[in-house]
Structure formats: structure tokens, C-alpha cells
Amino acid sequence: QIPIVEDTTIICYTDGLTDLVNENEQVFSLPSLVEFSQKNYTEDVQQINRKLLKEIVQFKAGRGFVDDITVLTVKIFGR
């Protein structure tokens, strides 16, 4: 269990994201997503999703998708 406190950002995703492979056979792995999250967690959810989409497109560099990708970003606000 992880406590969810005020100003928490949660990014839920399907395995299509972390299975994404670029032209150099590198995988957009969990550490890649963690690094992205650490850089962008203060943004609003729309901006996080836009930046993540941009990063995914740049990462795959014209290579097609072999699996679907679904991302749900949630920000928990205080009362």
C-alpha cells in the first residue's frame, strides 16, 4: 500500500507504453517512465499527458506502434 496524500500525481498506463521499442531496439522502460514522472509531476494532468505523448513520439522516432497504449493521469488535490 502507498498512502495517497494531497498533491499526489498518479500515472496509470498499459504495458504498451513500457514495451515500446525504438529504432535502436531500446525499450521505453519503467525507469524511463519514472524519470519522466520525476521531471513533470508538478505540471497539470493535461500538460503531463501532452509531454508524455511528445516524448513517446520522439522516442519511437517514426517506428510504428506494436501495441496499444492507454494512459490515465490523476492529480489528488486537498480539500
Instruction: In whole angstroms, give the CA distance from residue 15 to residue 1.
Output: 21
Q: What pLDDT, on a 0 to 100 scale, did the predictor assign at position 78?
A: 77
Q: Where are the domains of the chain?
A: 8-76
Closest by CA to 72, choosing from 45, 35, 44, 47, is: 45
Per-residue model confidence as pLDDT tens digits over 22-76: 989 999 999 999 999 999 999 999 999 999 999 999 999 878 888 899 999 999 9
Residues 6+ apart with CB under 8 A from 40: 47, 48, 51, 52
Task: Give the DSSP letter string of 49-65.
Answer: HHHHHHHHHHHHTTPPP
Beta bridge partners of residue 71, listed in sequence order: 13
